[in-house]
Amino acid sequence: MKEKIAAYLKLDTSKNAFWLFLDKIIRLGIGMIVGILVARYLGPELFGRWNYVIACIALVSAFATLGLDQIIVKYLLDKKLDEFTLLGTAFYLRLFGSFISTLIIAFYFYFFKNENKLLFIALLTVSNLWFQSTDVIDLKNQSILRSKKTVIVKNIVFILTSIIRVLLVYYKASLMIFVIVASLEYVLAALGMVLYYGASKVFNWKFDLSYCKILLLEAWPLILSGIIIMMYMRLDQVMIGNILGEESTGLYSVSTRFTELWYFIPSVFVTSFFPRLVEKFKMDKNEYLKLSLKLFKLLFFISLSISLFFLFSAEIIIETLYGKGYVMAIPSLQISIWTGIFVFWGVAAGNMLVIENLNKHNLIKSVQGLVLNIILNFILIPRYGINGAAIATLISQFYASYLYYILFKKTRHIFLLQTKSILFV
C-alpha cells in the first residue's frame, strides 16, 4: 500500500513539475516576442517610463506578498489549521499589504514626481498587487500538486491579453492603453482563479487574529529577505530613472531582460539536487561536498556558455529584435550577462547554507551586497551611465555570491568549491 501511495505521489510530482515547466516556456516564449514588439513600438523613452513605474512598484511588492507562500503551503500540508481560515487570513493579510504598498507608491509619485499622468500609471499598475491576493488559491493547488489548474487559467488570460497587446501595437495605441491591458490581465486571472476554485468556497474564508500572529511570526524574515531581493533586482532601474532619465531606464531594462531571462535555470537544477544533498549531508560529508561540486560545475558551465554567447552576439540580437533605437543597450548587456555566473552560483550556495544551518549568512551577504550595489550605483551611474549600473550589479553579485564566502571559516568551503568548479571538465 505504501509503495502505491509513493508511486502516485511520484507521478503527481512529475505531472505538477511538467505543468510548472510548461508555464515557464509559454510565458518566456510569448512574453519575449510580445515584449519586443511593445518595446520597439513604444521606443526607449515611453518603454522606460513604464519600466520605471514597474521597478518602483517591485521595490514595495514584498509588503503585498508578505513572504507567506511557503509558510501557507507548509500549513496546508500539515492540515493542523483550518483550511478556510488559513486561506482567508492569508488573503486579507495580502490585501492589507497591497494597501500599504499602494500608500507608499502614491506618496512617492505624488510628492516626488508631481506629474498626474505618471501618478495615474503608477496607481493603475500597483492595483495589480490587490488582484494578486487571490494567488492564495494557487498555494492550495501547490499543496495538493495540482498547479495544472493555475497554469491553465493564468495562461489562457496571458495569451488573450498578449493578442490584445499585439493588436494595440498594430493600431498604434497610447502607453496608457497598454497599462490598462496589463492590469486587465491581473483582473481576469483573479476572476478565473476564483471561478475555478469555487466562489462559494471563497465566501467561507474568514480572518483569524491568532492565525495572523502565527503567520507573521514566521514570515517576517522572509518579508525582509523579499524586500532585499527586490531592491537588488530593481533599485538600479529606479536610480537610473532618477539620475539619467526614463529613456535610459528603457535601454537598461532591455539589457537586464536578457540577463534575467535565464535565472530560472539554477532553481530547476538546485531543486532537483536538494533532496540528495540533504541525504548526503546527513550520511557522508565528503560525498556531500563532491555532489555540491558537481552542481557548481554544471551551473558554471551553463552560465559561462550563456555569457559567452551574448558577449559575441549582443549587437546582432539587440539591433535585430529591438531596432536601432536600443543600440545603446548593447554594452550594458555585454557587461550584465556575466552577472549570471554569480547568480547561478549564489542559488546553489544559498541552499548549502540552508542545509548546513547557516541561514544567517544568507541575510548578511544579501544586505552587504545591496549596500555595496547602492554605493557603486551612486558612483558609477553619473560617470558611465547604464553601463555603470551594469558594472555595479556585477561587482556586488561577485562579492555577495562568491567573495563573501572566503571571509568566514564556516563558509570558506563554499568559496573553494565555487573556485574549483571553474575547472568544470
* 425 pLDDT more than 60: no
Residues 158 and 188 in one domain: yes
Please provide the DSSP assignment of 79-122 as one string.
T-S-HHHHHHHHHHHHHHHHHHHHHHHHHHIIIII--HHHHHHH
Q: Which of 133, 164, 135 is nearest to 149 (CA)?
A: 135
The pLDDT tens digits of the residues spanning 140-166 come to 877 776 777 788 888 899 999 999 999
- Find out whether 103 and 129 touch, Cβ atoms under 8 Å: no
Residues 235 and 382 in one domain: no
Q: Does residue 246 sit within a domain?
A: no
The pLDDT tens digits of the residues spanning 67-77 come to 777 678 777 77
- Dist CA 77 CA 9 (whole Å): 13
Highest mean predicted confidence (pLDDT) among 72-86, 112-126, 255-269: 112-126
Look at residues 187, 212, 241 and tell me which one is the last residue of a structural domain: 241
Residues 141 and 92 in one domain: yes
Residues 187 and 323 in one domain: no
- Dist CA 86 CA 316 (whole Å): 51
In Å, how far are 233, 292, 306 from 260, measured between CA atoms?
Answer: 9, 24, 11
Residues 173 and 313 in one domain: no
Residues 270 and 372 in one domain: yes
Look at residues 218, 241, 264 and tell me which one is the last residue of a structural domain: 241
Q: Which of 63, 54, 137 is nearest to 94 (CA)?
A: 63
* 6 pLDDT more than 50: no
pTM (2 d.p.): 0.81
Residues 157 and 267 in one domain: no
* 101 pLDDT more than 80: yes
Least confident of 32-46, 55-69, 158-172, 243-257: 55-69
Please provide the DSSP assignment of 406-422 as one string.
GGSTTTHHHHHHHHHHT
Q: How many helices (H) and strands (E) does the chain have?
A: 18, 0
pLDDT band per the 50, 70, 90 thresholds, residue 2:
very low
Residue 128: partners with Cβ closer than 8 Å, 6 or more residues away: 57, 182, 183, 186
Q: Does residue 247 sit within a domain?
A: no
- Dist CA 92 CA 88 (whole Å): 6
Residues 177 and 263 in one domain: no
The pLDDT tens digits of the residues spanning 192-213 come to 989 888 888 888 899 989 888 8
In Å, how far are 22, 49, 184, 191 from 197, measured between CA atoms?
Answer: 21, 37, 20, 10
Instruction: Quote the crossing angle between the two packed helices 285-321 and 339-355, to the nearest 10°.
Output: 150
Query: What pLDDT shows up at residue 8?
Result: 40
Three-state DSSP class for residue 172: coil
In Å, how far are 84, 92, 204 from 200, measured between CA atoms?
Answer: 11, 17, 7
The pLDDT tens digits of the residues spanning 329-383 come to 999 999 999 999 999 999 899 888 878 888 788 888 888 999 999 999 999 999 9
- Dist CA 370 CA 400 (whole Å): 9
Please provide the DSSP assignment of 255-311 as one string.
HHHHHHTTTHHHHHHHHHHHHHHHHHHHH-HHHHHHHHHHHHHHHHHHHHHHHHHHH
Q: Which residue shows C-alpha cell 505504501?
A: 2
* 13 pLDDT more than 60: no
The pLDDT tens digits of the residues spanning 16-43 come to 667 777 777 888 889 889 999 999 999 9
Three-state DSSP class for residue 205: coil
pLDDT, greater one: 23 or 401? 401
Residues 149 and 187 in one domain: yes
Share above pLDDT 70 across residues of the chain, in percent, rounded to a whole number: 94
- Dist CA 130 CA 150 (whole Å): 18
Query: What pLDDT shows up at residue 5?
Result: 43
Residue 353: partners with Cβ closer than 8 Å, 6 or more residues away: 359, 361, 362, 411, 414
Query: What pLDDT shows up at residue 12?
Result: 52
Q: Does residue 61 sit within a domain?
A: yes
- Angle made by CA atoms 90, 94, 100, in degrees to the nearest 5: 145
Residues 348 and 204 in one domain: no
Residues 87 and 190 in one domain: yes
- Angle made by CA atoms 190, 194, 196, in degrees to the nearest 5: 115
Residues 89 and 118 in one domain: yes
Q: Element (H or E) spanning 217, and its range?
A: helix 209-243
The pLDDT tens digits of the residues spanning 201-246 come to 888 899 989 888 888 887 777 677 778 877 877 889 999 999 999 8
Least confident of 9-13, 80-84, 133-137: 9-13
Query: What pLDDT shows up at residue 278?
Result: 80
Q: Which residue shows C-alpha cell 505624488?
A: 110
Query: What pLDDT shows up at residue 35?
Result: 92
Query: What pLDDT shows up at residue 228?
Result: 81
Three-state DSSP class for residue 171: coil
Domain that holds residue 181: 2-241
Look at residues 175, 206, 241 and tell me which one is the last residue of a structural domain: 241
Domain count, the chain: 2
Q: Which three cell numbers stand for residue 328?
A: 545603446
SS3 content of the chain, % helix, strand, coil (to 5): 90, 0, 10
Query: What pLDDT shows up at residue 319?
Result: 92
- Dist CA 225 CA 247 (whole Å): 30
